Amino acid sequence: MLLVVVEEQAGSLSGGSLEAVSCARELAEGSAEALHAVAFAENTDHAADLAAPLSKYGVAALHLLTGEAMAEYCPELWGRAIAELIEHTDATGLVGPASDRGNELLAHAAARTGQPFASNCVAVEPGEVWTLTRLRGGGILLEDAELSGQVRIVSLAQGAVEPVEAATTHEVAVREFTPTLGESLPHSSLAERTSRGSGITLATAPVVVSGGRGVGSAEGFAALEELAELVGGAVGCSRVATNNGWRPHSDQVGLTGTKIAADLYIACGISGATQHWVGCMGAKTILAINTDPEAPLVSRADYAVIGDVHDVLPAVVERVRARREAAAS
């Protein structure tokens, strides 16, 4: 039996979870095994909300890890809980989304079961050993690898597969499992969680307006903020902008910052070093605005405007407003 970890998001399942479930179902079918899902909750009150979407994805059972410690995320205890479930169910594989939390959780499960873990996979094939392709350096290189062990653990990179519903819908049996966790397990505990308040996050924004060296100063980002607000997007930046203190590090798009998956990425005055490219290559469409027609990001972009950000952006903002007014009247 294969287990797939699913993450709750706004009362339903995250997109990454559905991708992981789809990938895990193919693995399970390929090795003639059943597919079960794993989720965390204090109790089984909302189990039906999680089980309902899974019924369309070929999941036979949902193991709900319950108890006081399962109410709030804790990497050590949640990882240990999965390890206990693996032992309890004799699972032969564990799949999950390669989100920050997903990778952390699977690493803990792997460490606590002593099993191998391949992170950020883009393709996985079943067999005596699993053959897989994973991303290295955020996607600069691909690594073909083999994964062998009593339990194979993989995390699936965001966007690696399309979520596909199963041919038939099945009732999902909910099974509650309360891990013992062991009294002496050293662990951290959540002391505080603060929400940024803004509904739009860099990782999930449909549009990201991002600036680099060409923006020139912290004040220069006002033009980017204006456009982002106008089109309902988030503001990002390159490493140069953070290192110069123009923007906080939490705005950084790149290998060591946030990897975005926007529908449209507008890169203003960003030349596009590899470290930046791996952060924005997940965007569907890239528009680069740069004075240098030879900049790497200009040649990799779908659309380019050759020119100074401070000439182009105000003109764009003005035209967007003009079109909206024309449409309204």
Partner 1 sequence: MDVLVCVKRVPAPGGKLLLTEDGLSVDTRHLGFTIGPHEECAVEEAIRIAAEHGGSVTVLSAGPPETEEQLRYALSMGADHGVLAEVGATELDPEATAAALVETIRTLESESKPFDLVLFGNETADAGHYQVGVRVACALGLPIVGGIKGIELVGGQARVQLKRDVSDGVEVYDTPLPAAAAVKEGLNLPRYPSIKGRLRAKKAPLRTLRPTPEPGGLRTVRLRQPPEKEHATVVLGHGAEAAEAVVDVLAEKGLV
Q: Which of residues 178-237 bind partner 1 (CB under 8 A)?
A: 186-197, 201, 203-204, 206-207, 231-232
Q: How far is the CB of 46 from partner 1 (least distance, A)?
A: 20
Q: Minimum distance from CB of 326 to partner 1 (Å)? A: 10
In the complex, what is the shortest distance from the CB of residue 47 to partner 1, in angstroms, rounded to a whole number?
24
Q: Given the complex with partner 1, which of 17 and 115 has the nearer CB atom?
A: 115
By CB under 8 A, what part of segment 76-135 binds partner 1? 76, 79, 100-101, 103-104, 106-108, 110-112, 115-120, 131, 135
3-state secondary structure of 132: strand
Mask 264-303, x = binds partner 1 (CB under 8 A)?
A: x--------xxx---------x-xx----x----xxxxxx
Long-range contacts of 168-173 (CB under 8 A, 24+ apart): 168/58, 169/55, 169/56, 170/55, 170/58, 170/59, 170/60, 171/55, 172/37, 172/51, 172/52, 172/54, 172/55, 172/59, 172/60, 172/61, 172/62, 173/60, 173/61, 173/62
Specify whether the CB–CB gap between 291 and 307 falls below 8 A: yes
- CA gap 220, 224 in Å, rounded: 8
Nearest residue (CB) to partner 1, 125 versus 173: 125
Structure tokens at 272: 């596009």
Phi, psi angles (nearest 5°) of residue 210? -125, 145
Binding mask 309-328 for partner 1 (x = CB under 8 A): --xx-xxx-xxx--xx----
Comparing CA positions, the residue from 110, 157, 148 lying closest to residue 130 is 148
Number of residues binding to partner 1, judged by CB under 8 A: 95
Least CB distance to partner 1 at residue 206 (A): 8
Task: Kindly identify the residues of this chain, within the stretch 133-172, that bind partner 1 according to CB under 8 A.
Answer: 135-149, 152, 155
